[in-house]
Chain A
Amino acid sequence: MSSYEVNGLVAEHDEEGYLKDIHQWNPELAGLIAQSENINMTPDHWEVVNFLRDYYEEYQIAPAVRILVKEMTKKFGKEKGDQKALYALFPYGPAKQACKIAGLPKPTGCV
């Protein structure tokens, strides 16, 4: 099993790069995970990641894509908040890729 290493912290991840222990997450680690996904974190990326983490804390799961879109539309306005804009930020899907960077488990099933 491989791991991420940042500022002395060693965080194990699974075959797909999702953290084994979600409590190890911190913003520096998020930056490193993003890098391994070829994503350069901008403030817009952080808005999504922070929303996912808040939602997860309350509901123990990432939000539905439609709910995420609705929330980001509120924050960014219509043009930057639609599904396509989210895919532009996270090309492999706002749910899966953004969850990985946010340190959350991968959504499973027919998604």
Chain B
Amino acid sequence: MAPTKFNGKDHVHGDPIEIPPLACGAMADSKPFVASPAMQKPLGFPGELVDNWQEKAINRLGELVNGSRALRVYLDSCVKCGACTDKCHYFMGTGDPKNMPVARQDLLRSVYRRYFTLGGKIAPKLVGARDLTRDVLDEWYSYFHQCSQCRRCSVFCPYGIDTAEVSMAARDIMDTIGLGQKYSNEIIGKVFNVGNNLGLPQKALRATLESLEEEIEEDTGVPVKLPLDVKGADILLVTPSADFFASPHMEGLIGYAKVLHEAGVSWTLSSYASEAANFGMFVGSHENMKKVAERIRIAAEELGVKRLVFGECGHAWRVAYSFLNTLVGPLDFLDQNYPIPQHICEFTNDLIENGKLRFDKSKNDEFRLTFHDSCNVARASRMGDKPGGQFEIPRAILRATCNHFFDMAPETIHEKTLCCGGGGGLLTDELMDVRLKGAQPRMRALQEVAEEHGVTHMAAICAICKAQFSKVLPQFGFDMESIVSVHQMVSNAILMTGSRQAEEYDAAHAAPVS
């Protein structure tokens, strides 16, 4: 873990969205490790910074603004109104003014103005235009890796400028000139080579799933299966590979398996598409995002499934819900009577609404829960058939499975949710300092409900949020295990037909014989 002087326990009390005192340049040295040539090349990027990087970078910026009217509008339309300045969790946590969204955008905007606007070409100083120098590039590398692309700032921008798109463009340009980020690019390479971010081979995946099957049967008496590569199954479940490795992710996977079993559907996982995540989005590379997404379509076609269901992963759901059809569609070989794709929370909630699942909520009585809306689900997608379904459906599942549920402050949830601090390709150890500081607003909101309502646990539906929180919670004085999966709560409370839990529950609740 990278050294940090930040002690979360000193910062956990207070207004979650308090405006910090300015700390100019405080985070200038924060930057991730650079990708090695071996990590760059499989993604189609130069191995290291090319000699004519300045020229290439400007050309690439030109291609991007010509290819995306949205990006050009984002770069042209800012009026410096200041609405976004205090909305970024990294600004709130660090006080560094370059982490104000407008300042982050200006890192790219100033270069765009210099080379692509008349004013910037003629009188750069008058319009805030800058030459693309090595110092500017270094600033890009540092501060575009202090943006988790969570889009909270864009909710408050009267022009709807999307800083995430700006930071994706900047990362795309840096990759194009050979300055890539190790964490994300190494991971994308593993997806191409092995099928998932983790680098988990098929044999290990199979062994892991078999171990879980044994465990579930031991615990419940029900032979719940976690099928792998089964041709002709109805549903392909695509889930983040963290679900096969980390906690509390895996406890969520157990929950999906129990629900799918109880629903009586035939389903399978795929070793070829054993990853829902798509880091191609984080690095802003359309080509790599498409290549990662293609694996899902190929697996679905080869296995001959009719439906596509996604597990708990925030940005995966954004890519699936918002982009999958454009990237690799049309998915006309799937059953059009079901949502394409469907979120596991939609799947579970439909069963709950139709009275198909039984729960013993008291099994979760040790949990006094709140829910952390993950940014990509909250602000870049939807669930169900009503607006706001992405907020209501996970909460409906928690309320159906737990007796004690309390929301955090309204300015920190739903579309105004605060990022966990580790999203957008920042979930890497060398960025721990900015991750901790960025988590501060969410930790304060959690502290408030812990004090007001005795909340003990926070549930989430994103693999990054879960991993980030299990690392940062202890630094703020919370228990490491106080982050849970939504389907972990389902797993704890579900009364599967014929299970030991159902028998015990029915025996305890049987009408007394008179």
Chain A positions near chain B (C-beta within 8 angstroms): 15-16, 59-61, 63-67, 70, 83-84, 87, 92-93, 95-96, 105, 107-111
Contacts and interface: CB of A to CB of B under 8 A. Distances in A.
B103 interface: no
B245 A108 contact: no
Best-surrounded residue of B215, B246, B313 (most CB of chain A within 10 A)? B246
A59 B198 CA distance: 13
Interface of B: 1, 33, 182-183, 186-187, 190, 196-201, 203-204, 207-208, 211-212, 215, 240-242, 244-247, 249-251, 277, 313, 427, 429-430, 463-464, 466-467, 471, 480-481
A36 B233 CA distance: 49
B430 A108 contact: no
A65 B246 CA distance: 6
Contacts of A64: 208, 244-246, 250
A43 to B, nearest CB: 25
A108 B211 contact: no
B43 to A, nearest CB: 15
Contact of B187 (A60, A65, A70, A108): A108
Contacts of B203: 59-60
Contact of A111 (B208, B313, B467): B467
Contacts of B201: 59-61
B197 A61 contact: no
A16 B430 CA distance: 8
A15 B32 CA distance: 11
A108 B198 contact: yes
A59 B480 CA distance: 28
A107 B201 CA distance: 13
Contacts of A108: 183, 186-187, 190, 197-199
29 contacts: A16-B429, A60-B201, A61-B198, A61-B199, A61-B200, A61-B204, A64-B208, A64-B244, A65-B245, A66-B247, A67-B208, A83-B247, A83-B481, A105-B199, A107-B198, A107-B245, A108-B186, A109-B190, A109-B196, A109-B242, A109-B277, A110-B197, A110-B240, A110-B242, A110-B313, A110-B427, A110-B466, A111-B198, A111-B249
Contacts of B240: 109-110
A77 B186 CA distance: 38
A66 B467 CA distance: 14
Nearest to A56: B204
A109 B197 contact: yes
A87 B247 CA distance: 13
Contacts of B215: 70
